[in-house]
């Protein structure tokens, strides 16, 4: 029986997190946009890199793969997308990524929207969802449609509610400001905002979140909620019918926010 794997954030750039799965001696990293902080962490903790997983092609998620694999020729898992180099294992919906060093198997979920080939990795109690689902928010639609993104978010939200959500960026405080604007009378969002600002004041990550929390608070997962739909309708000056229209309006509103 393996000891439980730890999941640790390695901060990168201004607000990225490279998530590191680790035990006493080995580590796997998710979305290493930059190799330098990963090398520094591996050296400091005396860990051997054993795998790399990527969720999507943006450089702040894959930019460090080349330098890492030059020094550590480990398996690299990524979606079928030629824009990601140095991949050893292309994976798609339903594939399993086995990390036997941690006694762990992660399932691949295709979640287009932020990009068309974005994937997530889901395992017992943990979800690595890149730039699709954020704490109280979601990624921008660079390539996909609102309908695609909403379908992807709905798919993630249907996972067990005790799933911990490991997102690609520390955007929680600004997402909560937006969430509170959409739904100002919600005491759950108020206390979440308080917790998040306490953590940030102490320079602690606000992540992981949980699906229970996201389902309850995240406006992008509540497009059927009359409060959220009414706020989006007020903002656009239109009577928005249906969750996709509400989602599209929320996403546009957040872009301007």
Q: Are 50 and 70 in contact (CB under 8 A)?
A: no
| CA 220 to each of CA 58, 161, 182, 250: distance values in angstroms, whole numbers, following the listed order | 22, 16, 10, 7
Q: Which of 31, 56, 118, 183 is catalytic?
A: 56
For residues 9 and 103, which CB has a smaller minimum distance to Zn ion in the complex?
9
Instruction: List contacts with Zn ion (CB under 5 A).
Output: 58, 131
| In the chain, beta strands by DSSP E | 6-12, 16-22, 26-30, 48-53, 76-79, 89-91, 96-99, 104-110, 119-123, 126-128, 133-134, 137-138, 164-166, 209-210
Q: Which of 31, 34, 57, 58 is catalytic?
A: 58
Q: Which of 31, 34, 57, 114 is catalytic?
A: 114
For residues 174 and 197, which CB has a smaller minimum distance to Zn ion in the complex?
174
Give least dist CB 31 to Zn ion, A: 9
Q: Are 38 and 29 in contact (CB under 8 A)?
A: yes
Give least dist CB 98 to Zn ion, A: 26
Query: Does 58 qualify as catalytic in the annotation?
Result: yes
**Which of the 8 DSSP states describes residue 234?**
H
- Nearest CA-CA partner of 67 in 27, 41, 32: 32
CA–CA gap between residue 134 and residue 214 (Å, rounded): 9
CA–CA gap between residue 210 and residue 194 (Å, rounded): 17
Give least dist CB 59 to Zn ion, A: 9
CA–CA gap between residue 246 and residue 180 (Å, rounded): 16
Give least dist CB 139 to Zn ion, A: 6
Query: Does 56 qualify as catalytic in the annotation?
Result: yes
Give least dist CB 242 to Zn ion, A: 27
The residues annotated with a catalytic role in the active site are: 56, 58, 60-61, 114, 131, 169
């Amino acid at each position: 029986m393996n000891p439980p794997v730890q999941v640790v954030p390695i901060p990168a750039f201004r607000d990225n997190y490279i998530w590191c799965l680790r035990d006493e001696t080995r580590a796997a990293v998710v979305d290493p946009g930059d190799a330098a902080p990963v090398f520094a962490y591996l050296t400091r903790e005396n860990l051997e890199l054993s795998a790399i997983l990527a969720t999507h092609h943006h450089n702040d998620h894959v930019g460090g793969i080349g330098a890492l694999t030059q020094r550590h020729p480990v398996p690299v898992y990524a979606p079928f997308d030629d824009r990601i180099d140095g991949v050893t294992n292309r994976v798609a919906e339903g594939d399993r990524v086995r990390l036997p060093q941690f006694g762990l198997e992660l399932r691949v979920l295709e979640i287009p929207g932020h990009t068309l080939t974005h994937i997530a990795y889901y395992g017992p109690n943990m979800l690595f969802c890149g730039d699709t689902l954020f704490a109280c928010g979601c990624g921008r639609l660079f390539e996909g449609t609102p309908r695609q993104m909403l379908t992807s978010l709905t798919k993630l939200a249907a996972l067990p509610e005790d799933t911990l959500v490991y997102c690609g960026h520390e955007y929680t405080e600004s997402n909560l400001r937006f969430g509170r604007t959409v739904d100002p009378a919600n005491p759950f969002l108020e206390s979440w905002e308080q917790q998040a600002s306490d953590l940030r004041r102490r320079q602690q990550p606000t992540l992981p979140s949980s699906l229970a929390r996201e389902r309850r608070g995240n406006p992008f997962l509540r497009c059927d909620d009359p409060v959220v739909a009414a706020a989006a309708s007020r903002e656009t000056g239109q009577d928005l019918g249906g969750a996709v229209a509400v989602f599209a309006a929320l996403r546009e509103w957040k872009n301007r926010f």
